[in-house]
Structure 1
């Protein structure tokens, strides 16, 4: 009986121990599960923190860029205002110089007239022989006219050479179309309207080839003297002398072009024709480079061209901090030459 009671006691102890071990195992299993959940949550929090830091850095960088952009815009605005004021000052200075040169030319003409009158009175006081010589000169006015004509032609030739050099200079510096004054080729079509028109009607892979063919066709058409969509215009009140030619914007080919490809392409071709007509090139149809004022949409004057080149050289000299700039010297030489021959033309015209 004693052995049986001891066995029962041992069995009960083992059951208690097994229950305790099982409880401890369940506790540790639950603790490990909680640890894994906390660890995953911690990783998520760390990732979220990293993302928030990246977003914060991006916002900070964006704010910094916006601040720098605003600062740059303010600097550019200030610089543009300074350049506008400088241009106005240069215009006033140029107008003053032109006015002074014209005045000097007029004064020179008056001095020559006074000297001619004094010479006449001197010859009259010297006797009949001198008077006869004067009459001999007066009897041959063609010689004086021929001399004035030659001088005028030489002055015009000099101005033409200077203008050609200005065009060459602008062709060297006009790398972009964003300049206020740049070279424009009269008679050359703009490619952009043709490209946009083809992109609206065709897939991109076909539009490029079609636009090139389309553009080349109308460029050749513009340079073909046999295609002349012009009409005769008679001014009111002067039926005999008021007859002129102008571009017929309602030409059948132009209207067909507008109907098939739109207003932009039509305007590109029509405006190019008008520019060719204004330059008097409807007969030979050659592409002519001219110095063009972009803002005013017209041919730039010689004074505007020289003024613009001076401002560009001055800006280059300021930017590079160059004390002696030979380009600036050459520009001012051209400027002085232009003024000199303009005054010479005025003087020759007044004398003639």
Structure 2
């Protein structure tokens, strides 16, 4: 904006040159010098901005590498238990428990044991089909957001036939898959804070692991 304003002043001065040539020439030199300084400053800022962008990309890449390494290395250590705070969550994988619980109400015990996992696997396969994309774009607080399309025929039928719990399990997996792997539509592992139901930070997972290691050492001694 400052450069634009200076360029405007320069044009005005040029128009006045014939009337007050000496004064105009002096003023023009001053404005031209100031303009050159501003352009130089802008160039320095652009270079700094580019350097910061590169540095940020490198940092983000290193953080993602660290998360991936933790997920691979600690897959067995961070198991999901009754009192687990942190662990590995498979984003986009449907929770089988709602299917098991609902089938227990609908079928005899032996049949329910088969039907629950069977239906869960069936819907997991449907999630992997990229041509099925039950989302819609809505405008929320000035931003466009992609949300589950409640009018989707398959989802409506699912809710009517199997109830809210199974519908919630399927749509939760859909949203996770759409967020974590919208192009490939397969399950992605993530470090997870099960207490707060969110993605875990590297700091809290590492702190949790170190705390467990100290506890294990004390028990051995």
TM value normalised by structure 1: 0.46
- Alpha-carbon RMSD across the aligned residues, in angstroms, is 2.4
What residue is the counterpart of 2:137 in the other structure? 232
What residue is the counterpart of 1:271 in the other structure? 172
Aligned runs of 1:151-190 on 2, under 5 Å? 151-178=55-82, 179-190=84-95
Q: Residues 259 and 143 of structure 1: is their aligned pair in 2 closer, same or farther, counting only changes over 3 Å?
A: closer
Is 1:259 matched up with 2:164? no
Maintained 8 Å contact 1:229/1:251: yes
Question: Once the 2 structures are TM-superposed, how far is the Cα of residue 284 of structure 1 from its aligned partner?
Answer: 2.2
Maintained 8 Å contact 1:249/1:270: no
| Aligned mates of 1:199, 1:235 — CA distance in 2 | 39
Unaligned runs of 5+ in 1: 1-134, 322-352
Q: Residues 205 and 166 of structure 1: is their aligned pair in 2 closer, same or farther, counting only changes over 3 Å?
A: same
What residue is the counterpart of 1:107 in the other structure? none
Is 1:221 matched up with 2:126? yes
SS in 1 for 2:58: helix
Aligned runs of 1:205-220 on 2, under 5 Å? 205-220=110-125
Higher strand share: 2
| Aligned mates of 1:147, 1:255 — CA distance in 2 | 50
Query: Please, which of 320, 330, 343 is the counterpart of residue 220 of structure 2?
Result: 320
Maintained 8 Å contact 1:184/1:289: yes
Higher helix share: 1
Q: Residues 310 and 146 of structure 1: is their aligned pair in 2 closer, same or farther, counting only changes over 3 Å?
A: same
- From the CA coordinates, give the structure whose radius of gyration is larger: 1
Question: Once the 2 structures are TM-superposed, how far is the Cα of residue 183 of structure 1 from its aligned partner?
Answer: 0.7
What residue is the counterpart of 2:100 in the other structure? 195
| Aligned mates of 2:85, 2:76 — CA distance in 1 | 15
Higher mean C-alpha deviation, range 307-316 or range 153-162: 153-162
Query: Please, which of 194, 202, 215 is the counterpart of residue 302 of structure 1?
Result: 202
Q: Residues 254 and 319 of structure 1: is their aligned pair in 2 closer, same or farther, counting only changes over 3 Å?
A: same
| Aligned mates of 2:86, 2:182 — CA distance in 1 | 25
Question: Once the 2 structures are TM-superposed, how far is the Cα of residue 145 of structure 1 from its aligned partner?
Answer: 5.4
| Aligned mates of 2:50, 2:200 — CA distance in 1 | 33
Maintained 8 Å contact 2:192/2:199: yes
Maintained 8 Å contact 1:187/1:223: no
Aligned runs of 1:1-352 on 2, under 5 Å? 141=44, 147-178=51-82, 179-235=84-140, 238=142, 242-277=143-178, 279-321=179-221
Question: Once the 2 structures are TM-superposed, how far is the Cα of residue 180 of structure 1 from its aligned partner?
Answer: 0.7
Unaligned runs of 5+ in 2: 1-36
Question: Once the 2 structures are TM-superposed, how far is the Cα of residue 143 of structure 1 from its aligned partner?
Answer: 6.1
Question: Once the 2 structures are TM-superposed, how far is the Cα of residue 173 of structure 1 from its aligned partner?
Answer: 0.4
Aligned residue pair count: 180
| Aligned mates of 1:184, 1:276 — CA distance in 2 | 12
Question: Once the 2 structures are TM-superposed, how far is the Cα of residue 230 of structure 1 from its aligned partner?
Answer: 0.8
| Aligned mates of 1:234, 1:145 — CA distance in 2 | 32
| Aligned mates of 1:174, 1:258 — CA distance in 2 | 33
